[in-house]
Amino acid sequence: MKIHEYQAKELLVRYGIPVPPGEMTDNPEEASEVAKSIGGGMWAIKAQIHAGGRGKSGGVRLARNLTEVSEHAKAILGMNLVTPQTGPEGQLVRKIYIESGVDIVREFYLGMVLDRSAEMPVLMLSPEGGMEIEKVAAETPDKIIKICVDPLIGLKKFHIFEAGCKLGLNKDEIKELYVFAKGLYDLYTGLDASIVEINPLVLTKEGRFIALDAKIVFDDNALFRHNEVADMRDFYEEEPAETEAGKYGLSYVKLDGNVGCMVNGAGLAMTTMDVIKLVGGEPANFLDVGGSASAETVAKGFEIILNDPNVKVIFVNIFGGIVRCDRIANGILEAIYGTEINIPIIVRLDGTNAPEALEILKKAGNPNIITSDRLSAGARLAVQLAAGGEK
Ligand code: GDP
Ligand code: MN
């Protein structure tokens, strides 16, 4: 789960990391009042959406007086912000964060993620942070300092001393950097985050560090332990179909292709998507109807897949382990009974009672249902039909 910058900064402060004073608002009329109460002579007006790259796309603007604050607030609130991370459809801005402006001397990047091969959280630091961090990572990855932190030892001063020296910081700056790194590590482990990023981490004219931007992603599987964090969820920022699917215990992720996929089990769903790609197609979604899929979940799955106008064909790939294939076959027929599905549905059912299932589907005589007993052949046919080919 992702949260907004203003929420992430609230959490940073709780872990001892300084951020500029600021306040969130969704009312453009209120913006100059908010800025006035924050004080100072310069403000940053920042679009609050769950995507980065706002700075380069007009979602972060600096104001030098209250009139400018008001103008920027009006321009940003309600705009459809398109950044490299939102996709071409963009994201509607419903909230802005107004914060006291900072005079930047240097921009660093500071982040923590899990390094699966090292089996440890890794702290990442770059002397060149800010809006060009992707470029640094792509072109000069050596500049990014990575420090694996053994969770049995935790983050210690020596970790940061080494990194600080590499960054060319003096003793006092290293001490301050430690406060940031420690806070980041404690937040990451304490709140079960999967990514915590401060970019830019800024060195100010006064020689102090301050977190100018914050991004936190949480591990959904641990949210039950952190009600406060779970309450920060903003459904407006999430794909509505994904939220709807979640209510029925389905995991659905919308993608950009035209082959709708309905699969049971995350591993088989990934495999199905891989095979579709391998034969030259593009999956429209990831959908795991669960290991114990029922007729109801299958019906809901169809509804969600069909809501995506890009879908030209549906590929059902279900392995009957816990679930019996004949039940699924009946579920498919029930799901499409009475609906006007006029796209091909390729069904590959294998496992318990697969022959009975195929018999049921054949008997139904629905011309849109095509059975296949092989994953690769089924995928190939789906891709061919999605591209406008003949059966
Ligand atoms: P992002 O582009 O979505 O990551 O948004 P950021 O919050 O990182 O802002 C983008 C850039 O705007 C930063 O890298 C800074 O260079 C600049 N910026 C943000 N706030 C301030 C500020 O208070 N003062 C100045 N001078 N620049 C700022
Ligand atoms: Mn940023």
Return the domain boundaries, the chain. 1-20+103-238, 21-101, 240-386
- Domain 1-20+103-238 sits in CATH at 3.30.470.20
pLDDT tens profile 255-312: 999 999 999 989 999 999 999 999 999 999 999 988 667 777 888 899 899 999 999 9
Taking domain 240-386, whether its CATH number is 3.30.559.10 is answered by no
CA of 231 relative to ligand 1 center, distance in Å: 27
What local confidence, expressed as pLDDT, does residue 391 receive? 58
Percent of the chain whose pLDDT exceeds 90: 77
pLDDT tens profile 55-93: 999 999 999 999 999 999 999 999 999 999 988 889 999
pLDDT tens profile 161-170: 989 998 889 9
The overall average pLDDT reported for the chain is 93
On the question of pLDDT at 390 being above 80, the answer is: no
Beta bridge partners of 370: 346
Q: Is 22 in the pocket of ligand 1 (CB under 6 A)?
A: no
In the block, residue with structure tokens 């795991």: 288
State the closest ligand 1 atom to the C-alpha of 213, by its place in the atom list counted from 1. 7
- Provide the CB-side half-sphere exposure for 32 (13 A, CA): 10
CA of 391 relative to ligand 2 center, distance in Å: 49
Q: Is 129 in the pocket of ligand 1 (CB under 6 A)?
A: no
- Provide the CB-side half-sphere exposure for 171 (13 A, CA): 0
Q: Is 198 in the pocket of ligand 1 (CB under 6 A)?
A: no
pLDDT tens profile 146-161: 999 999 999 999 999 9
Output DSSP code: residue 30: G
Taking domain 21-101, whether its CATH number is 3.30.1490.20 is answered by yes
Q: Output the residue whose Cα is nearest ligand 1's atom 15.
A: 130
pLDDT tens profile 311-359: 999 999 999 888 889 988 988 898 888 677 889 999 999 999 999 999 9
Query: What is the β-pairing status of strands 145-148 and 120-126?
Result: antiparallel
What local confidence, expressed as pLDDT, does residue 239 receive? 83
Q: What is the rounded average pLDDT of the residues 202-226?
A: 95
CA distances to 155, 189, 198, 293 from 152, rounded to whole Å, are 9, 12, 24, 40
197 is catalytic: yes
Three-class HEC string of 235-284: HHHCCHHHHHHHHCCCEEEECCCCEEEEECCHHHHHHHHHHHHHCCCCEC
pLDDT tier for residue 249 given thresholds of 50, 70 and 90:
confident
